[in-house]
A and B are shown apart, each in its own frame.
Chain A
Amino acid sequence: MSAEEKPVIDVYDLKKSFDGKPAVKGISLKIRRGEIFGFLGPNGSGKTTTIRMLCGLMKPDGGHGSCLGFDVLTEMSKIKENAGYMTQNFSLYEDMTVGENLDFMARLYGISSRKDVVAENLSRLGMTGNKNQLAGTLSGGWKQRLALGACMIHNPQLLLLDEPTAGVDPKARFDFWNKIHKLSAEGVTILVSTHYMDEAEQCHKLGYIVAGELLTEGSPEEVIKKSGLVTWRVAGPDIWLLSEKISELPAVAQVTVFGTELHVSGYDKEALYRDLKPFMDGKWAFEVSKPGVDDVFVSLMEKRGDEGQ
């Protein structure tokens, strides 16, 4: 990975509107070869739309750039040939068997030795036994696996995965991420959208998009550092009640409840400590900690919300 190498995804100011309503309002991305880029953002923020523009499925209304060295405006068919796109919703044929679906995909990509490729993929996916099962009868997690296998059948150098692990059990998610890391080590570039923060922390780089705008970008550490956030973790009884009281404090920017813990964040370390001190009477356990990416994203959302008002 030399620094001079042209990024695999290199786009500037991509825009897309539907019926006059902007869905993506100028997004620029640079993703290098072999990088795992995590694409995060609330529902309806424009992740799917951005990915579709990157893989040649939608023409951007504005902006320019390239994907795998091909122009996103004029060489869409070239991008389609060389990238693998996994849709957010299952988009293989439910009334075809697993084997038939893989074979069909291989045919669409013009693969010559289809039989071998299909057999190889079936065993790699651990689905040799399901070869003759109808895809529609697979469970959600297995459908995702099949879809991932199908979009990689032509060994693409770029994978665009739209929420590939939604509804997948923890073990399968773990296996999936192992595979992603392996591919990345082999030099495959991966853009993956997700709502899981543990997955976000495994990415080399993150992008957080809200209402069609990229609010922050960088490695998980950079994103946290850039936010300037200080977070205290609080554990103890009645944290819901406590959260109400604490959120009134001037130095507290945001309070979120994570299971049995409160994450209390602010931008001014000293002021936050002063405000929280009265509560540190032994009833609750306070602990300064590094903010997580989730804390950062929540704060970014709230900040944006404030600006909006």
Chain B
Amino acid sequence: MRRDRLTFGMMIGIPLMQIIVFGYAINFDPKNLPVTVVSADNSVFSRDLVYAMENSGYFRITGTAASEKEAARLLDLGDVQFILNIPENFGRKLLKGERPTILLEADATDPVATGSAIAAMSVIAQELFDRDLKGPLSHLQAGQPPFKLVIHKKYNPEGVTQYNIIPGLMGIVLTLTMVIITGVAITRERERGTMENLLSTPVRPIEVITGKIIPYIIIGYLQVTLILLAAHYFFHIPMVGSVPLLLLVSLFFIVANLSMGITFSTIAKNQMQAMQMAFFFFLPSLMLSGFMFPFRGMPEWAQWIGSALPLTYYLRIVRGILLKGNGFSEVLVHLWPIALFMSIALTVAVGRYRETLD
């Protein structure tokens, strides 16, 4: 036990990590969700509305979009969580008592992430103009709000949690199996002594690594297929976007995880250690990627860690393609961090893989 410092570290590290994450990072009541405003009105009232939303703490206005199309793209990319649509002549219609419509579009792929903000919005709508509409205008606040609030939950209108979880599960399963199996596979070669034989032949490290990786890529694709089939036939998850695109993107993610596993196996002294390292990588992926808890609900430091993990981006891509119908250009935004992670991990893996027994 004293000799195996890594095991000891893990035994302390894993509970510590869990305490920190569960204690501080979890938040099912995410605040400061980014909103973009599409406004055709410049009245006091629309400015007040925006101000009240920010004040509630649930919304953070990131800017205004020139057109609905531009705003829709931001929502597709996941850059913003909401679009606030203020119609033309909102202020004037309000004063006339015509009850104009405010449209709040939400990216509801993760119902948990938007739930409380949407609830808060209804309260704002109810109370907002109590102050503005005093005196002669007080008739406008007769019981119901002076404008209609329409909330449009896009991508997952019924708020089915499975819609969010099942696609995410794909990334979780891939991370878990890909990192562990490669990590253990190469360490096992060393433990059993077959590595010595392998190294005494003229094969190059890159050849050994490709030889190891290719069968696992196939396994990874089998897993993806299995989950997609289950998602379609058992859970009736909508598949709006292109499945071939998803399969293509998955390749980067699978290779990124495999390289990570190989890197671990070059550090680990035995299979047990490789397993532990894989787990140490898996836990933050599980907890800080936005799979377990809404990403935007996490404190900034947790988001920073999450942003370094490939799973975070893969989750966005999978949800984006399946639920939002993201095409290649939207996917690209999240693909490059995965590709970057993959290149670094692969370089480290090949670089650390020794051609000698030293």
A interface with B by C-beta (< 8 Å): 52, 55-59, 76-77, 80-81, 85, 87, 89-94, 105, 108-110, 150-151
Contacts and interface: CB of A to CB of B under 8 A. Distances in A.
Given A89-B193, A91-B193, A58 B201 contact: no
Given A52-B357, A59-B358, A80 B200 contact: yes
A97 B202 CA distance: 22
B219 to A, nearest CB: 17
B227 to A, nearest CB: 29
Contact of B202 (A52, A80, A87, A93): A80
Interface of B: 192-204, 355-358
SS class, residues of chain A in contact with chain B: loop
Given A52-B357, A76-B355, A76-B356, A57 B196 contact: yes
B201 A91 contact: no
14 contacts: A55-B200, A57-B200, A58-B358, A59-B358, A80-B200, A85-B200, A87-B200, A91-B193, A91-B196, A92-B197, A94-B192, A108-B201, A110-B202, A150-B197
A91 B358 CA distance: 17
Contacts of B192: 91, 94
A109 B196 contact: no
Contacts of A150: 197
A81 B202 contact: yes
Contacts of A90: 193
Q: 6 closest A-B pairs (Cβ-Cβ)? A: A91-B197, A108-B201, A81-B202, A85-B200, A91-B193, A80-B202
Contacts, number: 51
A89 B358 CA distance: 18
Contact of B357 (A58, A108, A109, A110): A58
Contact of B356 (A59, A105, A109, A110): A59
SS class, residues of chain B in contact with chain A: loop
Contacts of A57: 196, 199-200, 356-357
A80 B193 CA distance: 17
Contact of A87 (B197, B203, B355, B356): B197
A263 B357 CA distance: 41
Contacts of B357: 52, 57-58
A92 B197 CA distance: 7
A211 to B, nearest CB: 21
Contacts of A55: 200
Residue of B194, B357, B358 ringed by the most chain A CB atoms within 10 A? B194
A69 B268 CA distance: 36
Nearest to A93: B194
B252 to A, nearest CB: 28
Contacts of B204: 77
Nearest to B203: A108
A57 B203 CA distance: 12
Nearest to B199: A57
